[in-house]
Amino acid sequence: MKKLKTPLEADRLKYNPPLPELLLDLTHCSIEEGSVTTSVADEEEIQKFFPHTFGRKIVSCTKGPLPGKLAPLRIGVMLSGGQAPGGHNVITGLFDALKKLHSDSRLFGFLGGPIGIVDNKHVELTAEILADYRNTGGFDLLGSGRTKVKTDEQLACSLKVIQNLKLDGLVIIGGEGSNAYCAVLAEYLLNHGSQTRVVGIPKTIDGDLQDGMLEVSFGFDTACKIYSELIGNIARDAISSKKYYHFIKLMGRSASHITLECALQTHPNMALICEEIIAEGKDLAQIAEELAEMVYERSQQGKEYGVVLIPEGLIEFIPKMVKLIEELNPLLAKYPENEIATHLSEKSRAAFDFLPLQIQQQLLSDRDHHGNVKLSHIATEQLLIHAVKAKLKQKKDYKGQFTALSHFFGYEGRSGFPSNFDASYCYALGHTAALLIQGGYTGYMAVVHHLGCHIADWKTGGIPITMLMSMDKRPVIKKTLVDIHEEPFIYFDYQRGRWAMEDDYRYPGPIQYDSSSLSEQPTFTLLLRRR
């Protein structure tokens, strides 16, 4: 029995995402090579790891006939890592582009992420299968996974599957780790005489995969709009009841892009930006004091309510907390829990003693399989509420009523219907990946830029993945943090003093799909960067 669809789902399945003008006729879209690239750092070491693919040129799609005779292509595709709205549109965009290039082209989807190619678990994707996934959220078409394919045995299995399926190309849809794997696999295939081209697609709702032509990863737009709707709803509730502070933790363990964008969308009373905190060397007590002072000042105006946004990774950006964790990890393996605090340095002991008992116990008992503290499990929003309460008690003339509620918006934003922006962005990325493979490019990431312009004016092309890499223990793509000297943060910094005291909340409401003036508007982050 065919599953019944909601009216919105049925409507979205029929939607045709507009494309950049350059991609409207793929048979008259050629690829132009630009400048030679290097890596962001550690050039010599990166080149040793990637002798075949290092230093390749940036490429751009331009108008002009495709060179040579077009033959059918056999392409594989996989989804890797956490979900992000728009992944299915990358696949439908890839499929449609392949069929435009040659009607006999075929697309194979690997199941469960990178392990799917190792274990040879795949399905051929057809127009009939894809009809139920166009413009939908989630990664349920193929499933995803976080298995790291890095051993020689796993890479050899991947090569064998690629050879057996006679793949001309493979598209890997994922974040910085998945695209690093894309570069490794491309190099491995060339080293073993394979002509299969490997192309990456930039995916992560966190927005921390950026670099020049790579303006934003897909899913960021939709996730921020989903979170902003919820924040706006809570702000409206706060100003209605006038008796609660809402501490809202948002996705973004490594960077504060989501928190900054949602702040620009909703105008909370305070938003903590990790990159500013680490730049100024603030500790937890200082952050709590700033929050408490804001609560105190609002109370003086008769306002016992407000909204505070907190990045998921806040703890990891507070220097004294980082130092505390560094000291705790080896001590946890040597001493009983009730003795550990006595072995901390003076500064770390002070940081530890400032924490509420519940968080202290969590730091001592909740560890990963390596025996280290599980930082991501710390309820930062509740920690801050406790710290603010403690600071308010120290203010002798504070007579207000501080009642706080905590929230965490995470999974809510990962698999929603993609916004029209993300639907078109991903559809264009799929088309671009097809063109890169057709053009013989491997170890590249498909990019679409000029995203702050009208969709028709977007530009597309590819960048060598090695240009994004630097060395850690191995070659990695470094996450891009919020630049506190860039226009989005500067604008936020200029406005936040007013937002703290005034009820200047914005209510973005749900994502719109009908009116282009509302549905295709990019994020404030993209718009402010163009100023």
Which CATH number goes with the domain that contains 437? 3.40.50.450
487 CB burial (10 A radius; 0-12, 13-18, 19+): middle
For residue 4, the model assigns a pLDDT of 87
CB atoms within 10 A of CB 281: 10
- Rounded-to-integer distance, Cα 531 and Cα 438, Å: 36
Which pLDDT tens digit goes with each residue over 435-487? 999 999 999 999 999 999 999 999 999 999 999 999 988 999 999 999 999 99
Considering the domain architecture, whether residues 287 and 229 belong to the same structural domain is answered as: yes
For residue 469, the model assigns a pLDDT of 96
Considering the domain architecture, whether residues 259 and 231 belong to the same structural domain is answered as: yes
Distance (Å) of CA 105 to CA 97, 102, 169, 449, 508: 10, 6, 11, 27, 42
161 — pLDDT class (breaks 50, 70, 90): very high
Identity of the amino acid at 87: G
User: 69 pLDDT exceeds 90?
Assistant: no
Considering the domain architecture, whether residues 232 and 359 belong to the same structural domain is answered as: yes
pTM value > 0.75: yes
Which pLDDT tens digit goes with each residue over 402-413? 999 999 999 999
Q: What are the residues whose beta carbons fall under 8 Å from the beta carbon of 79, sequence distance 6 or more? A: 87, 113, 139, 141, 142, 143, 144, 173, 174
81: left (phi > 0), else alpha (psi -120 to 50), else beta? left
Judged by DSSP in three states, 365 sits in helix
Which pLDDT tens digit goes with each residue over 178-199? 999 999 999 999 999 999 999 9
Which pLDDT tens digit goes with each residue over 240-257? 999 999 999 999 988 999
- Rounded-to-integer distance, Cα 432 and Cα 23, Å: 8
Flag whether 454 is in a domain.
yes
Flag whether 6 is in a domain.
no
Flag whether 396 is in a domain.
yes
Flag whether 239 is in a domain.
yes
Which pLDDT tens digit goes with each residue over 510-521? 999 986 677 788
Mean pLDDT of 94-118: 98
Flag whether 273 is in a domain.
yes
Active-site residue 206, yes or no? yes
Q: Examine the fold and report which residue of 477, 505, 520 is the final residue of a domain before the chain moves on.
A: 477
Mean pLDDT of 70-80: 97
For residue 430, the model assigns a pLDDT of 99
Considering the domain architecture, whether residues 213 and 315 belong to the same structural domain is answered as: no
Flag whether 12 is in a domain.
no
Flag whether 283 is in a domain.
yes
Give the percent of the chain with pLDDT over 90.
Answer: 83
Structurally, the chain folds into a number of domains equal to 2
For residue 58, the model assigns a pLDDT of 98
CB of 133 within 8 A of CB of 91?
A: yes
For residue 376, the model assigns a pLDDT of 67
For residue 379, the model assigns a pLDDT of 87
Identity of the amino acid at 261: E
Question: 192 lies in which domain range?
Answer: 20-219+418-477
For residue 56, the model assigns a pLDDT of 97
User: 297 pLDDT exceeds 90?
Assistant: yes
Q: Examine the fold and report which residue of 477, 495, 519 is the final residue of a domain before the chain moves on.
A: 477
Flag whether 2 is in a domain.
no
66 — pLDDT class (breaks 50, 70, 90): confident
For residue 311, the model assigns a pLDDT of 96
Considering the domain architecture, whether residues 247 and 362 belong to the same structural domain is answered as: yes
370 — pLDDT class (breaks 50, 70, 90): low
Considering the domain architecture, whether residues 178 and 61 belong to the same structural domain is answered as: yes
Considering the domain architecture, whether residues 66 and 213 belong to the same structural domain is answered as: yes
Give strand pairing partners of 419: none
Tell me the backbone φ, ψ of residue 464, rounded to 5 degrees.
-60, 130
Considering the domain architecture, whether residues 185 and 244 belong to the same structural domain is answered as: no
Considering the domain architecture, whether residues 378 and 453 belong to the same structural domain is answered as: no
User: 126 pLDDT exceeds 80?
Assistant: yes
Considering the domain architecture, whether residues 24 and 119 belong to the same structural domain is answered as: yes
CATH number at residue 497: 3.40.50.460
For residue 447, the model assigns a pLDDT of 98
User: 369 pLDDT exceeds 80?
Assistant: no
Give the percent of the chain with pLDDT over 70.
Answer: 98
For residue 43, the model assigns a pLDDT of 95
Which pLDDT tens digit goes with each residue over 17-61? 999 999 999 999 999 999 999 999 999 999 999 999 999 999 999
User: 15 pLDDT exceeds 90?
Assistant: yes
Q: Which residue among 96, 206, 208, 283 is the active-site one?
A: 206
Mean pLDDT of 358-381: 78
Considering the domain architecture, whether residues 193 and 282 belong to the same structural domain is answered as: no
429 — pLDDT class (breaks 50, 70, 90): very high
Identity of the amino acid at 339: E
Which pLDDT tens digit goes with each residue over 194-236? 999 999 999 999 999 998 889 999 999 999 999 999 999 999 9
Considering the domain architecture, whether residues 197 and 250 belong to the same structural domain is answered as: no
Identity of the amino acid at 223: A
1 — pLDDT class (breaks 50, 70, 90): low
The residue with greater pLDDT, 350 or 373, is 350
